[in-house]
Amino acid sequence: MNFQKIIDFFFLLTIFSLPLYLLRFTLFHIPTNLLEILALASIAFLLLSKKQALLKEWLGTLKPILTPSVILFSGLLLSFLANPWTLQGLGIIKSWFIIPFLFSLSLPLVFNSDKRIRLALNTLYISIFSVSFLALIYSYMGILTYDQRLSAFYLSPNHLAMFLSLGFFLFPYLYFKEKGVFGRYLLPCSLLVIALASYLTFSYASWLAVFLSFLSLLFINNSFSKKTSLFVLGAMLLSATFFAFQYDEPKLKNIADSRSSFSSRLMIWRTSVELIRDNPALGIGPGNFQTRYLDYQKYFPPYLEWAVPQPHNLYLAYYLQAGLLGLIGFLLLCYKWLAFGLKQKNAAFSAASLGILFYILIHGLLDTPYWKNDLAFSFWIMFFLTIAFAKEQKLSQKSKV
Confidence of residue 343 (pLDDT cuts 50, 70, 90): confident
Which is more confident, 110 or 147?
Answer: 110
The three-class DSSP label of residue 26 is strand
Q: Is the pLDDT assigned to residue 57 strictly greater than 80?
A: yes
CA 335 to chain centre: 16
Q: Is the pLDDT assigned to residue 178 strictly greater than 80?
A: no
CA distance linking residue 254 with residue 218, whole number of Å: 31
Confidence of residue 347 (pLDDT cuts 50, 70, 90): confident
Give how far Cα 343 sits from Cα of 224, 292, 307, 333, 353, Å: 13, 42, 43, 16, 11
26 falls within a domain:
yes
CB-based contact 121:15 (threshold 8 Å): no
CA distance linking residue 26 with residue 241, whole number of Å: 45
293 falls within a domain:
no
CA distance linking residue 345 with residue 363, whole number of Å: 27
Q: Is the pLDDT assigned to residue 256 strictly greater than 60?
A: no
The pLDDT of 89-94, averaged and rounded, is: 96
Q: What percent of the chain has pLDDT over 70?
A: 88
Which is more confident, 296 or 96?
Answer: 96
Mean pLDDT, rounded, of the chain: 89
352 falls within a domain:
yes
186 falls within a domain:
yes
Q: What is the pLDDT of residues 123-169, one digit of tens each?
A: 999 999 999 999 999 999 999 998 899 999 999 999 999 999 999 99
Q: Is the pLDDT assigned to residue 367 strictly greater than 80?
A: yes
Which is more confident, 318 or 251?
Answer: 318
295 falls within a domain:
no
CB atoms within 10 A of CB 253: 12
Q: What is the pLDDT of residue 399?
A: 56
Q: What is the pLDDT of residue 164?
A: 97
Rg (CA), the chain: 21
Q: Which residues form the domain of 198? A: 3-257+306-400
Q: What is the pLDDT of residue 225?
A: 58
Residue 116: is it exposed, middle or buried by C-beta count within 10 angstroms (0-12/13-18/19+)? middle
Domain count, the chain: 1
The three-class DSSP label of residue 377 is helix
The contacts of residue 340 (CB under 8 Å, 6+ apart) are 353, 386, 387, 390
Q: What is the pLDDT of residues 11-24, one digit of tens each?
A: 999 999 999 999 99
Q: What percent of the chain has pLDDT over 90?
A: 66
Least confident of 120-124, 176-180, 260-264, 313-317: 176-180
CA distance linking residue 355 with residue 232, whole number of Å: 10
pTM reported for the whole predicted model: 0.93
Q: What is the pLDDT of residues 303-324, one digit of tens each?
A: 777 888 899 999 999 999 999 9
Which is more confident, 215 or 327?
Answer: 327
389 falls within a domain:
yes
Q: What is the pLDDT of residue 321?
A: 97
The three-class DSSP label of residue 25 is strand
Q: Is the pLDDT assigned to residue 186 strictly greater than 60?
A: yes
Q: What is the pLDDT of residue 260?
A: 63
288 falls within a domain:
no
CA distance linking residue 19 with residue 62, whole number of Å: 27
| H or E, element range at 93 | helix 87-93
Least confident of 111-115, 257-261, 287-291: 257-261
Q: What is the pLDDT of residue 169?
A: 93
| Residue type (1 letter), 203 | S
Confidence of residue 46 (pLDDT cuts 50, 70, 90): very high
The contacts of residue 313 (CB under 8 Å, 6+ apart) are 265, 268, 269, 272, 364, 365, 366, 367, 368
CB-based contact 305:264 (threshold 8 Å): yes
The contacts of residue 279 (CB under 8 Å, 6+ apart) are 320
CA distance linking residue 292 with residue 298, whole number of Å: 11
The pLDDT of 231-251, averaged and rounded, is: 69
Q: Is the pLDDT assigned to residue 325 strictly greater than 80?
A: yes
115 falls within a domain:
yes
Q: What is the pLDDT of residue 279?
A: 95
The three-class DSSP label of residue 32 is strand
The pLDDT of 97-102, averaged and rounded, is: 98
CB-based contact 169:352 (threshold 8 Å): yes
CA distance linking residue 334 with residue 337, whole number of Å: 5
- Of the candidates 15, 395, 368, 382, the residue with the CA atom closest to the CA atom of residue 170: 382
The three-class DSSP label of residue 105 is helix
Q: What is the pLDDT of residue 73?
A: 98
Q: Is the pLDDT assigned to residue 398 strictly greater than 90?
A: no
Q: Is the pLDDT assigned to residue 401 strictly greater than 60?
A: no
Q: What is the pLDDT of residue 304?
A: 75
